[in-house]
Amino acid sequence: MIVRRARYADAPQVAELLMQLGSRAVDADEAKRRLGRAREIVYVAEHGERLLGLAACKTDIYFGHNLPVTHLTALVTRAEARRSGVGKALVDAVLDFARENECFGVELTCGINPAREAAHQFYPSLGFVRSAYRYWYPLEVEERKAQ
């Protein structure tokens, strides 16, 4: 297995992985559009011609901070490749990226639904510490109320 930066040619398999992550309506064209985002770096774990997983991240300096932070925006491993080191290898690539960019740390958010329980155990095993609550205001609720 090798971990490398994603390429446009990876778009069909990236779409499959994003669908496994829970994204709705992602096809190869949408995956290619997402790969073209200037602010996000996407790493893929590849074995032969098959992508086993992906990790996406972006770095920013938040208003109240004086050092950049890398945010792990997506991490997915194919179901058949889980518990084989793919996720750890992808996270290691993101951590290396953050170190190279002199970031203060790496943050991520993870849904609290029961389907994400394995992830809730995985991240602390890599050294991540739960440090905050995340609150979400769903704008689509406002839009439905207005109709």
Residue ranges covered by each domain of the chain: 2-146
- Among residues 90, 45, 97, the alpha carbon closest in space to that of 69 is found at 97
Just give the CATH number of 2-146.
3.40.630.30
**At residue 132, what are phi and psi to the nearest 5 degrees?**
-160, 165
Token output for 127: 């050294």
- Residue 38: the pLDDT is 67
CA distance 28 to 17: 11
- Residue 59: the pLDDT is 93
In angstroms, what is the C-alpha Rg of the chain? 16
Kindly tell me if the per-residue pLDDT of 144 is higher than 80: no
- Residue 118: the pLDDT is 80
Report whether 68 contacts 59 (CB < 8 A): yes
pLDDT digits (tens, 9 = 90+) for 105-140: 999 888 787 777 788 888 888 888 888 888 888 887
Q: How confident is the model at residue 145 (pLDDT cuts 50, 70, 90)?
A: low
pLDDT digits (tens, 9 = 90+) for 64-84: 888 999 999 999 999 889 889
Residues sharing a CB contact under 8 Å with residue 32, sequence separation 6 or more, in sequence order: 8, 11
pLDDT digits (tens, 9 = 90+) for 19-49: 888 777 788 888 888 888 868 899 999 999 9
CA distance 116 to 110: 7
- Residue 73: the pLDDT is 92
